[in-house]
Amino acid sequence: MPSKEETLNKQDIFNDGFWFNNAIFAQLLGMCPLLGVTTTAENGFWMGLATLAVLLCSNLIVSLVRGFIPDEVRIPAYIVIIASLVTVVELAMNAWMHDMYLILGLFIPLIVVNCAILGRAEAFASKNNVSDSLVDALGMGLGFTFALLLLGGVRELLGQGELFGFNILGDAYPDVLLFILPPGAFIALGFILAGVNVINQRLQAKKDAVLQAEKQGAAQNV
C-alpha cells in the first residue's frame, strides 16, 4: 500500500538539506558553533563532521522510535537522545582524536543545543521512515559541514593569509585581524549569504525560463 512517505524523492530530500533548506544558508540555524569554531577551515570541517555524525544517529533513532513516543513528551525524549549521542561523540573524540578534541572540546557539548539537530528530529525524522531520515540527515549534515568549511576558509584566508594551515597569500599579506574576531564571522557570513542568494536567483531564473519554454512548446503543439 503506497503511503504518502514513499512519494518523497531521495535526491530531492538531499538537495533540500544540502542547499535549498541549508541549516546555515537558508534557515540561519546553529549560529553558535558557526561563530565559535570557524576561525580556520580545519576547525570548521571537523565541527561539521561531528555535527553530521550526531545528526545521522539522532535522525536514525528518532525515526525508529517515532511510533512509540507520545506527542506530549517528544521534545524531552529527543533532547535526551541527542544529548546522549553528543556525549558519545565527545568521548570518542577524546579517545581517538585527542588533538582535535583539545581544539574543539569546548564546542562539542554545544552540539546539543544546535537547534538544527532538534529541528530535523522534530520536522523530519519524527514524520518519515528510516531511509528518508538518513538521507535528510546526510544532506543537512553535509550542507552544514560545507557552510562551516566555507566560512572557516574565508576567515582563515582573510584573517591569516592561510588555508588549512598552509600559507597561501604570502608573508607580505597584512593579516586582517577582524576576520578572526566574532564580528568578522558575521561580516563574512553576510557576504556568503548574499552570494548564495545570487546563485539561488540565477537557478530560479533558469527554472522559470525552462517552464516558460515548455509552456510555449505546449501551446504551439496545441
Query: If you search the block for the grid coordinates 582524536, which residue do you land on?
Result: 97
Interface segment toward other proteins; rule CB under 8 A; list 77-85, 133-141, 142-150, 196-204: 77-85
Question: How many Å separate Cα 160 from the centre of its chain?
Answer: 25
Task: Using CB under 8 A, pick the residue from 55, 134, 156, 158 that binds other proteins.
Answer: 156
Measured distance CA(137)–CA(129) in Å, rounded? 12
| Contact status: 56 vs other proteins (CB under 8 A) | no
Task: Using CB under 8 A, pick the residue from 77, 110, 169, 193 that binds other proteins.
Answer: 77
| Contact status: 43 vs other proteins (CB under 8 A) | yes
Site for other proteins in 163-182 (CB under 8 A): 175, 177, 180-181
DSSP per-residue string spanning 117-161 = HHHHIIIIITTS-HHHHHHHHHHHHHHHHHHHHHHHHHHHHHHHS
| Contact status: 76 vs other proteins (CB under 8 A) | yes
Task: Using CB under 8 A, pick the residue from 39, 51, 59, 128 that binds other proteins.
Answer: 39
H or E, element range at 162: strand 162-163
CB nearer to other proteins: pick between 65 and 193: 65
| Contact status: 91 vs other proteins (CB under 8 A) | yes
| Contact status: 98 vs other proteins (CB under 8 A) | yes
Minimum Å gap between C-beta 140 and other proteins is 23
| Contact status: 111 vs other proteins (CB under 8 A) | no
106 phi, psi to nearest 5 deg: -60, -35
Minimum Å gap between C-beta 117 and other proteins is 15
- The secondary structure of residue 28, as a DSSP letter, is -
Task: Using CB under 8 A, pick the residue from 1, 95, 194, 218 that binds other proteins.
Answer: 95
104 phi, psi to nearest 5 deg: -95, -10
Task: Using CB under 8 A, pick the residue from 31, 32, 35, 103 that binds other proteins.
Answer: 103
Measured distance CA(53)–CA(70) in Å, rounded? 26
- Cα torsion for 131, 90, 34, 184, to the nearest 10°? -160
Whether 151 and 34 have beta carbons less than 8 Å apart is answered as yes
Encode burial over 101-128: b for 16+ CB neighbours within 10 A, e otherwise. beebeebbebbbebebbbebbeebbbeb
Q: Give the footprint of other proteins on this chain (CB under 8 A).
A: 37, 39-40, 43, 68-70, 72-73, 76-77, 80-81, 83-84, 87-88, 91-92, 94-96, 98-99, 102-103, 106, 155-156, 159-160, 175, 177, 180-181
